[in-house]
Structure 1
Amino acid sequence: MRSLVALLALSLPAVAEVSPERATKLENIVIQDCGSCHGLTLKGGLGSALTPDMLAHAEPQGLAAIILDGVPGTAMPRWRPVLSEEDALWIADYLKGRPE
């Protein structure tokens, strides 16, 4: 599984660039959609916690790959049909850097 995530991450941009309007929409997706499984405060629920402390070891490109392609055999869905690679990388950076 790790090699798949690493391979997928190679194609992602290193820095996410989205407009302020898109950033607002993506933040809402994180709170509403991600929060429905990971908890409204993202401290865990059906899915694991998405706090900066819990994600400290994770590379943004690897997180973006998981966001885009999901995790087979788990409740983590693919978001590639509705999010771009830049969107997913922005979300990964947001999750790693937001205040708790």
Structure 2
Amino acid sequence: MRAAAPLLLIAGCFAASAAASDPGTQRQQELVRMVRQDCGSCHGLRLTGGLGPALTPSALADKPVEALAATIYHGRPGTAMPGWRGMLSEDDAAWIAVQLTRGFPEERQAGR
């Protein structure tokens, strides 16, 4: 329980963020590209798993969005999962977490 306490505290901080405003259309496209490229290098380009676990709606069904956002933002100490707070805002992390639970969008190709 003690080991989970910091994660629960961090997740609580994201409760409000998960309901925060969505990033603009251009930022959403940047986030989709980042997730597909950077996160995909460990979680698989289709996010179905690789070195890291699958990030599909069915794989994340029992995970609170706030906890997912906290993991994205802060990482998981003692694992290969880095925190992305240097590149993301808390709102960005919350938006990504929500999108993962819904089925992450495909990256738009130039000209489409």
Asked if Structure 1 and Structure 2 have the same fold, meaning a TM-score greater than 0.5 normalized by the shorter chain, the answer is yes
TM-score (norm 1): 0.92
Aligned residues of 2:42 and 2:52 also touching (Cα < 8 A): yes
Choose which of 37, 42, 48 in structure 2 pairs with 1:43.
48
After the TM superposition, list the runs of 4 or more consecutive aligned residues in structure 1 that deviate by more than 3 angstroms.
Answer: none
| Separation (CA, whole Å) in 2 of partners of 1:71 and 1:4 | 11
Identity %, equivalent residues: 49
**Which runs of no fewer than 5 residues in structure 2 stay unpaired?**
106-112
**Which runs of no fewer than 5 residues in structure 1 stay unpaired?**
none
Match of 1:87 in 2: 92
Aligned length: 100
TM-score (norm 2): 0.83
Amino acid at match of 1:56: A
Structure 1 or 2, whichever has the larger Rg, is: 2
Aligned-pair CA distance for 1:99 = 6.5
Match of 1:14 in 2: 18
Match of 1:28 in 2: 33
What is the aligned-residue RMSD (CA, Å)?
Answer: 1.5
- Are residue 78 (structure 1) and residue 80 (structure 2) matched? no
Aligned-pair CA distance for 1:7 = 0.4
Aligned-pair CA distance for 1:3 = 2.2
| Separation (CA, whole Å) in 2 of partners of 1:2 and 1:53 | 23
Aligned residues of 2:18 and 2:95 also touching (Cα < 8 A): no
Tell me the secondary structure at the aligned position of residue 65 of structure 1.
helix
